[in-house]
Amino acid sequence: MSLSESIGLALVGLGCVFYLAGTVGLLRFPDVFSRLHALTKADNLGLLLVCTGLAVLEASWRVALLLASIWLLGLLAATVSAYLIARHAHHAGAAGRPAAEGERP
């Protein structure tokens, strides 16, 4: 295995760890805001690491550019949807109280 392959695989693996952490946070945290916090922060970093790892593995500028745009689009979608969910939860008065069963995390 070449050096770039090991670096790429390590980055993808590290990204998966962040995804796992974000998902555990989503499932374990008590209320909407901390769940969003775990999900957006950890998953955006995880996506960045996975994209970087794949770009290193592929070693092509075209693919790297496409992966970068995927990450930026992911960031945009995560930011706006997290903001809208948080806003909705805030208006609904869900702040601070534990998320009820069936409530959108």
Please tell me whether residue 87 binds another protein under the rule CB under 8 A.
yes
Least separation, in Å, of the C-beta of 46 and another protein? 17
Kindly report each contact of residues 4-10 with a partner whose C-beta sits within 8 Å and lies 24 or more positions away, as own/partner. 4/56, 4/57, 4/59, 5/57, 7/53, 7/56, 8/53, 8/54, 8/55, 8/56, 8/57, 9/53, 9/57, 10/53
Structure tokens that stand for 17 in this block: 């760890």
At 101, is the secondary structure helix, strand, or coil?
coil
Please tell me whether residue 6 binds another protein under the rule CB under 8 A.
no
Among the listed residues 20, 79, 92, 97, the single contact to another protein using CB under 8 A: 79
Please tell me whether residue 73 binds another protein under the rule CB under 8 A.
yes
- Binding segment toward another protein, per CB under 8 A, in 26-34, 37-45, 49-57, 81-89: 81-89
Chain residues that interact with another protein, rule: CB under 8 A:
73, 76, 79-80, 83-84, 87, 102, 104
